Amino acid sequence: MLGISGPSASGKTTLLQVIAGTVDPDRGSVRLSGVTLTDADVLVRDDRRNLMLAGQDAVLDRENNVAANIATALPSDKKRRRIGAHRVAMVLDLLELDTVLADSRPAQLSAGERQRVALARAIVGFGLGGPEAAVLLDEPLSAVEVGTRIRLLQAVLADVGTQPIPVVLVSHDPEEIAAVAGRRLALTRGRLTPVP
């Protein structure tokens, strides 16, 4: 996991949006798995980048329950979706979401629970042949108490770390980044610098 820390308004979210393709860079380029996604000649839009994003604002389908919200990220192949039902149960457990909550609607959840559901959706397809090329985490558990947040992020890292897929976490909290990220960068005034 690559962790990027920086103060509020330092550009962390904008950096993830550039990687995701929802914001065009002023200069430079984004390369993923040897493919240039943005430069003067190539612009691969976000719907073709196969990136999963979990942010501070957990955008969930209010008409669906928790399990259905998570399952929307599963591969569409029927066999993989059957296997996926087991995977949904696994990520519910991983993120310490009581299985009783699986039938709850987003309006019935706390802000921290909604963030956990969005994070579960971002990682549920791992290992099921989904198209994910990378996972981008923009302070995905900011509404969760810090000790629990770090424990959950460490569990997510252990879960997805077995797959050859990059995970990028941004946070304003350098201690959170230090606790979970193998590689660390600091973003200050638009510049990324390595953190020992």
**What pLDDT, on the 0 to 100 scale, is given for residue 190?**
82
In terms of C-beta density within 10 A (0-12 exposed, 13-18 middle, 19 or more buried), how is residue 107 classed?
exposed
What domain range includes position 120? Answer: 2-194
Residues 127, 20: Cα–Cα separation, whole Å: 21
**What pLDDT, on the 0 to 100 scale, is given for residue 30?**
81
Residues 35, 143: Cα–Cα separation, whole Å: 35
Which among 123, 119, 180, 162 is positioned nearest to 144, based on CA atoms? 119
Domain at 116, CATH number: 3.40.50.300
How many domains is the chain built from?
1
Q: Is 147 helix (H, G, I), strand (E, B) or coil?
A: helix
**What pLDDT, on the 0 to 100 scale, is given for residue 46?**
47
Taking the chain (196 residues) in runs of 10, the rounded mean pLDDT of each run is 92 89 81 69 51 86 93 74 81 89 94 94 74 81 94 90 83 93 91 91
- Global pTM reads 0.85
